[in-house]
Structures are given as structure tokens and as C-alpha cells.
Chains A and B, each alone.
Chain A
Amino acid sequence: MNKNTSANKSKGNLGSFLRRSSVPIMFIIICAFCIPLSGLSPSYLVNEIVTRMGRNAFLILSLLIPIMAGMGLNFGMTLGAMAGQIGLILASDWQIVGIPGMVLAAIISVPISILLGLFCGKILNMAKGREMITSYIMSFFINGVYQLVVLYLMGSVIPIAHSTIKLPRGYGIRNTVSLLAMRQHLDNLIPLTIKGVKIPVATFLVIALLCVFIIWFRRTKLGQDMRAVGQDMEVARDAGIKVERTRIIAIVISTILAGIGMIIYLQNMGNIATYSSHSQIGMFCIAALLVGGASVDKASIGNVFLGVILFHLMFIVAPRAGAAITGDSMIGEYFRVFVSYAVITIALIMYETNKRREKSRNSEQLQQAQQEEENR
């Protein structure tokens, strides 16, 4: 009897493992199919993946903590991205270049991130049970405020000295701000090239540091409280944990990390698209995390890295593969956008249906128990 149940369990584990990793497996198949079609060389792909890993991993890692606190996918990470951009704009206007410029940008972004995170956390506490849609709308709302600041206040209220980043009309920031003075300064801080693959060692070190921080954070009292709050707010409250405060802290940390992540992201890109860089970043980061096998309520560091690799591999090869099949490169462009959204949709649906599946199990057990009783 005992053996039986344990066998059942391992079978169930395998099944649930397959279910959980269905998205990564699907992506492996898509990539395996598209890579040969794209005709891109392996060394090119490796190079690209390594670059994109350095560019995106930090941003995606910022999503982990709110998931731990049961607040779902933090669509509000865009808030942090905006804070990071403001930091970079100011730092480049003040002509602080290179690594010091990045550090300065980070220092400017942190208090902004904290404020935005506090606001966002407060609002999310008022909308428990629909955090995701709220944080999603929140990103639009703050985007409006961001535009107000960057397009109207910068140059008129907030002094901006250099005309290279200012719009010709005298206030507001240009559509593109060049970060030439910081471009890949972090990536190239410790130069290393292995077999033609350029490795941004310093960026990887920063990412590794963040990973260590997250692992360590999970072992702290606060991390433990967040996990408790994430699983059952009422129980946590009864045990004396300050639920609302803990949730706000989770969002604040996530926002700060997203801000720093955005700075790393943009130093690699080399310029800021002032009014669009941030708007899609949340969606792509969330999609990448989910592709790595995370779900709305469970995500690990491993998911982040697997996600970056698979998602960006798809991203690189899809346009070429699409062009190879249909002769139109736009197909691939649209395909990858579609896949990003589809992945998020599927993950959300799976999360909601899993929640409901739990409930139906009970009545089956009851029916079984009664039958057993009658058989006796």
C-alpha cells in the first residue's frame, strides 16, 4: 500500500514536471527547428546569446522577489526602468562618463525607484487578488507621469545643459539619447574573449552578485516572511507578520533592481530610446522568465538563465527563419512578438486553472471513501 502511493507520487511528479516544463520544451523544439533554417553560424549565435545574457539577466532577476511574495508577475517593473532612464539622462547631461556615470545614474535612480515602488506597493495592497492587471495599468499610468517629466519638465524646470539631448524647442529630451560615453563600459571593463566570443565579465560579475544576493535574501527573515505572505496572507498575518509592509518592500526591492538592471541594459545598447525603451521591457522580461519554466507563483534563478537563452535564441533566429520559409522577414518579426504574448497568456491561463483544479480533488476523495465503506 505504502509502496503503491509512493509510486503514484513519483508518477505524479513526472507528470507535473512535464506540465511545468512544457513551455521550455516547446521552445527548445522551436529553436531546434529554426536554427538550421536561419543559416546563422553557431559562433554568431553564442556571441549574441552571451551579449543578451549580460544585457537582460539583471532585469529579469528583478522579477523574482515579487513572485516570491505572491504578487505575481511584476508588470510594474517598468517603473524601475523609467527611474533608471531618468538617472542615465541626468548623468549623461552632467557629462559623467564611463563607470562613474553608471554608478551616478544608479544612485539617482534608487530614490526615484523607492518612491515609485512605495506608491505602486500601496496601490497593489488596495487591489489584492488583481495585482497583475493593476501593476500593468500602473505601468501605463506612471509612463504618463514619466512623459510629463521628461518631455516637459526637463529643460524647463529640471535644468538640462546640453543641447545634444534637448529637443530644439528648448525643453524636453530628444527621442534618442546617445550613451556613447558609457557604451559597454561595464561589459568591457574586464576584457575577455574566448574563441571569438566576447564575454562581458564585469557585467556577469554584477549579475552573479545579484544572484548571490537573491539566494542570501531567501535565507533572511524578510525572505522567509515574504514566502509566508506569498502563500497565505491570513496565516502570515495571524502569526504577526506585517503583511502589507512586507508586500510593499517586495515591490520596492523589485523596482530598485529593475532600475539598476535598466542601466546595465542601456549601457550595452549604447543609447536610450527616451519614450519607448522602457515600454516593452517589462513584457520581454516577463516572457523570457516564463519561457525559462517559471510560473506566476514560482520562479528560480535557473528559470532566468534558461529563459534568457531560449527566448533570445528564438528572438534572433525567428526573423531569419521566417524569411527563409516565406521570403518575408516581417513574418519572423511578428512571430516573435506573437510568441512573447502567447507565452505570457498560456502561463496566466495555467496559473488560474491550477488554482481551480485543487478544488475538484476533494469531492473525488469523498466519493471514493463512501464506495470503500460500502464495499466493506
Chain B
Amino acid sequence: MNTDKKEKGRIGQFIESFGLPRLIITAFLLLLLILAPFVGADLPTQITNIIARFSWNGILVLAMVPMVHSGCGLNFGLPLGIISGLLGATLSIEFGFTGGLSFVMAILIATPFALVLGSGYGWLLNKIKGGEMMIATYVGFSSVSFMCMMWLVLPYKSPNMVWGLSGKGLRTTISLEGYYIDTLARFLRIRIGNLEIPTGTILFFALLAFLMWAFLHTKTGTAMTAVGSNPTFAKAAGINVDKIRLLSVVMSTWLAAVGILVYEQGFGFVQLYMAPFYMALPAVSAILIGGATVNKATIMNVIIGTILYQGIVTMTPTVMNNMVHMDMSEVIRIIASQGMILYALTRKTEGAK
């Protein structure tokens, strides 16, 4: 009887720690998966979609981890990193690289941008401890709208990217055909009937995720977790809190840059101008759905969260359409993902805000 009580407590505790909204979202996705065959959707195609979208978005979600660990909160300033990635992508094409090489070069070129922008951004966040998330949001917005002007003004020449008529100013979407479309996905691609697995992209995500996991097991990684857990403790233990936070912001920015490039190679297009604007929100809600909080996140949260989030994004349109002939997927996605962020923001957290 005693154990029974304990068991019950444990279940309650599990729900408590797992969070009700997360439970609902998981149940919802499971329901969709079960319903899918009955409403005539092809399950393998659906799963292929989920896996593909997971592989595109995983790294963007992974980019949340370092800043959450160092107590900077959720990186609503993700667009800043995305811009570094876009600069890498466009410059790589501009310089005439093609095929797989253009992908490698895009990452290489994006890196210095990510480091510089990330450092500036990190320096700023150190000045405004406590108000990171709101300011991060607006730093992201400002930088996106600033780059809108730059895309028009910068002297890009490549005919594949600029507007055909005027011969200057970048197009809003640039096709990656002939560049790095599917560069990663093609590698060791597995096809079984309708099921398709972009092994290369997943391996690339796995590599970065492993590196992140490994980093968190090093001395510096340990310090980063401690800074996020209790900055005063870290300070008293001789850690340069600002430096660690800065490092986490730079890491996050660089991951976002790489993340957008991986996204593009799957999606097949580079999207400029206002496209990066709201890219932070799906990543933020994905990691939260995966079980992270404002100041705790693991690689597992990233993987589970991305699968759940992308699962809902891909499954709802088909299942809902076939079932009620109403495409409510967009609305459901908005309510679920924003609701998740709201839920996380209203949780009491110790230490970091």
C-alpha cells in the first residue's frame, strides 16, 4: 500500500515535471499518427516528412541549448545567427562555388560573421542581464530589417541571385539547384518503398549534437551549466560569468548560422529579406515542447522537441484535411507552440530570469 502511494506520487511527479501542455501535445501527435491510416493518409510518406523536417530543423533547435545552459534564457535573437548563415550562403554562391563545395564554403564564410555578430550580441546581453529575452527578440528583428536594406544595396553580381530585370539587389528566394541542395541528404540516403531517410543530414545533426553533449562534459561546459544554474555560485567559484555567457551566445549564433544552411540544403532555397523574422519562435517552442525550461535544456529535449513539433506541423494538415475538410493546422500550430512558450515563461525558475 505504501509503495502504491509512492507509485502514485511518482506518476503525479512525472506529470508535474513533464508538464501538462507537453503531455497534451504528445498525446495529440500520437492521436494523429493513429488516425492517419484511417483517414487515408500514407503513413510512410508522413513519417518521411517528419524525419526530413526534423533533419532540417534540428540544428536550429540545438542552437538554443548553450544560451539556456548559461542562463541567458531562450535565444529569441536566433535571426542574428541566421543572418550570418545567409551571408555565408550568398557569398559562397557569389564567389562561384558549386555543388557540395558551396556548402562547405558557406559554413566557412558564415563562421567569422557568426563569431563577430555573436560576440557583439553577447556583449550586449551581458550589459542587460535579466532582460535578455525581450531585447534578444528585438535585436533579432532589428538585424533582419537592417539586412533587408543590405540585401538590396550590397553589390552582389551572380545572375542566379540578383533580380533579372535591374541586375542588382538579391531576390527574395534563391534556388539552390546546382549548389548545395540535398548535399547532406543525398549522402547514404535510404529508400524503402515510400519511406525515405536523409541519412547524411541526420548524421550531421548527430555530429553537432554529440559535440554539444561532449562540450557540456568538459571543464568549460561544466562551468557554463553552473553559471546558468546559479551565477553567484559560479562567481564565488572564480568563474568569469560574463565570459562564459559570451561564449554561449557565440556558440548559439554559430549553430544558428550552420542550422539555417542545413535547413536550406533540405528545403532547396535560400530565403532572404523578412524570412528569418519569425524563425526563432518555432525553435523556441520546439525545445520547450521537448521538455526544456527557461534555464534547463538537454540534447534529449532537442531531439524529442523537434520530432514532436515537426510532427504536428506535418501531420495536422493532412489528417485534419482528410478528416474534417478544414485546414486548421496553422491555427493549431500557432496555439500549441505559443501556448507552450507562454507556459514556460510563467513557470517559476530559480536563479536566471
- Chain A residues with CB under 8 Å of chain B are 123, 126-127, 129-130, 132-134, 136-138, 140-141, 143-145, 147-148, 151-152, 326, 328, 330-331, 334-335, 337-338, 340-342, 344-345, 348-349, 351-353, 355-356
Q: Told that A334-B152, A349-B124, A352-B128 touch, could you supply 10 new A-B pairs with CB distance under 8 A?
A: A123-B346, A141-B339, A331-B153, A338-B146, A341-B145, A349-B135, A352-B130, A353-B127, A356-B127, A356-B129
- CB-nearest residue of chain A to B346: A126
Partner of A152 from B128, B130, B169, B331 at Cβ < 8 Å: B331
Which one of B49-57, B136-144, B214-222, B261-269 contacts A? B136-144
Q: Is the CB of A334 within 8 A of B328?
A: no
Give bound CA distance, A345 to B121, whole Å. Answer: 12
Q: Are B346 and A127 in contact (CB under 8 A)?
A: yes
Give the residue among A126, A127, A138, A141 with the most B Cβ atoms within 10 A.
A141
Cβ-neighbour of A140 out of B138, B148, B328, B338 (below 8 A): B338
Asked whether B127 lies within 8 Å of A352 as measured between CB atoms, the reply is yes
On whether the beta carbons of A348 and B131 are closer than 8 Å, the reply is yes
A129 CB contacts on chain B under 8 angstroms: 130, 353
Cα–Cα distance between A331 and B124 once the two chains are bound (Å): 27
Chain B residues, CB < 8 A from A133 = 76, 133-134, 137, 345
Supposing A152-B331, A334-B148 touch, asked if A141 and B338 sit within 8 A by C-beta, the answer is yes
Residue of A nearest to B146 (CB): A338
| CB of B342 closer than 8 Å to a CB of A | yes
Partner of B342, one of A123, A335, A352: A123
Chain A residues whose CB sits within 8 angstroms of the CB of B11 once the complex forms: none
Q: What residues on B are CB-neighbors of A356 within 8 Å?
A: 127-129
The smallest beta-carbon distance between A293 and chain B, in angstroms, is: 18
Pairwise interchain contact B148-A147, C-beta atoms closer than 8 A: no
Contact A130 B134 (CB under 8 A): yes
Contacts of B326 in A (CB 8 A): 152
Measured between beta carbons, the chain A residues less than 8 angstroms from B130 are: 129, 352, 355
Residue of B nearest to A148 (CB): B331
B353 touching A140 by the CB < 8 A rule? no
B284 → A minimal CB distance (Å): 9
How far apart sit A148 and B138, CA to CA, in the bound complex (Å)?
27
Q: Are B76 and A331 in contact (CB under 8 A)?
A: no
What's the minimum C-beta distance from A121 to chain B, rounded to whole angstroms?
12
CB distance from A239 to the nearest CB of B (A): 25
A340-B141 Cα distance, complex, nearest whole Å: 10
Chain A residues whose C-beta falls within 8 Å of the C-beta of B331 in the assembled complex:
144, 147-148, 151-152
Whether B207 sits at the interface, judged by CB under 8 Å, is no
**Closest CB of chain A to B169's CB: distance in Å?**
7
Residues of chain B with a CB closer than 8 A to A140's CB: 281, 334, 338
Q: Which residues of B contact A338 (CB under 8 A)?
A: 142, 145-146, 148-149
**Pairwise interchain contact A137-B341, C-beta atoms closer than 8 A:** yes
Min CB distance, B295 to chain A, in Å? 12
- Taking a contact as CB atoms under 8 Å apart, the answer to whether B131 and A351 are in contact is yes
Contact A334 B135 (CB under 8 A): no
Q: Once the chains bind, are A326 and B153 in contact (CB under 8 Å)? A: yes
B128 to A, closest residue via Cβ? A352
How far does the alpha carbon of A348 sit from the alpha carbon of B81 in the complex, in Å? 21
Complex-state Cα separation, A35 to B131, whole angstroms: 36
Q: Is the CB of A130 within 8 A of B345?
A: yes
12 A–B contacts from the bound complex (CB under 8 Å): A130-B345, A141-B342, A147-B330, A147-B334, A148-B328, A328-B152, A338-B146, A341-B145, A345-B139, A352-B131, A353-B127, A353-B128
Q: Does residue B31 face the partner (Cβ distance < 8 Å to A)? A: no
A342 touches B152 (CB 8 A): no
Shortest C-beta distance, A276 to chain B (Å), equals: 13
Given known A152-B326, A328-B169, A331-B149, contact A141–B353 (CB-CB < 8 A): no
In the bound complex, do residue A335 and residue B345 qualify as a contact, i.e. CB atoms below 8 Å apart? no
B73 to chain A minimum Cβ distance, whole angstroms, is 9
Min CB distance, A333 to chain B, in Å? 8
Is B236 part of the contact surface with A, judged by Cβ < 8 Å? Answer: no
A287 to chain B, nearest CB (A): 10
Task: Report which of A331, A351, A353 forms a contact with B152, defined as CB distance below 8 A.
Answer: A331
Which residues of B, 312-346, contact A by the 8 Å Cβ criterion?
326, 328, 330-331, 334-335, 338-339, 341-342, 345-346
| Chain A residue, CB-CB nearest to B131 | A352
Q: How far is the CA of A353 from the CA of B169 in the complex (A)?
A: 38
**Are B334 and A337 in contact (CB-based, < 8 A)?**
no
CA distance A160 to B331 in the complex (A): 20
By the criterion CB–CB under 8 Å, are B138 and A134 in contact?
A: no
Bound Cα distance A348, B133 (Å): 11
Give the residues in chain B near A340, CB-CB below 8 Å: 145
Cβ-defined contact, A337 with B346, below 8 A? no
Q: Check if B353 sits within 8 Å of A130, measured CB to CB.
A: yes
- Are A341 and B328 in touch, CB under 8 angstroms? no
- CB pair A152–B338 under 8 Å, yes or no, is no
* Residue numbers in B under 8 Å from A348 (CB-CB): 128, 131, 134-135, 138
Query: Contact: A341 with B76, CB < 8 Å?
Result: no
Nearest Cβ in chain B — how far from A301, in angstroms? 25
Measured CA separation A353–B124 after assembly (Å): 10
List the 7 shortest-distance A-B pairs measured between CB atoms, nearest first: A144-B334, A352-B128, A141-B338, A338-B145, A144-B335, A126-B346, A334-B148
A223 to B330, CA, bound (A): 41
Nearest residue in A to B124 (C-beta to C-beta)?
A349
- Inside 8 A of B131's CB, which chain A residues have their CB? 348, 351-352
With both chains docked as a complex, state the minimum distance between the C-beta of B212 and any C-beta of chain A, in angstroms.
25
- Bound complex: CA A349 to CA B142 (Å): 13
Q: Bound complex: CA of A152 vs CA of B329, how far in Å?
A: 12
Please give, as numbers and ranges, the residues of chain A lying within 8 Å of B341 by CB-CB distance. 137, 141
Give the residues in chain B near A151, CB-CB below 8 Å: 331
A322: nearest chain-B partner, CB-CB = B149
Is B334 in contact with A141, judged by CB distance below 8 angstroms?
yes
Q: A130-B134, A341-B142, A349-B124 are in contact. Are A143 and B169 (CB under 8 A)?
A: no
Residues of chain A within 8 A of B152, CB atoms compared: 326, 328, 330-331, 334
Q: For the complex, what is the distance from the CA of A352 to the CA of B131, rounded to whole Å?
A: 7
- Separation in Å of the A302 CB from the closest CB of chain B? 24
Q: Are A345 and B135 interface neighbours, CB within 8 A? A: yes
**Which residues of B lie under 8 Å from residue A337 when comparing CB positions?**
145, 148
Give the residues in chain A near B127, CB-CB below 8 Å.
349, 352-353, 356
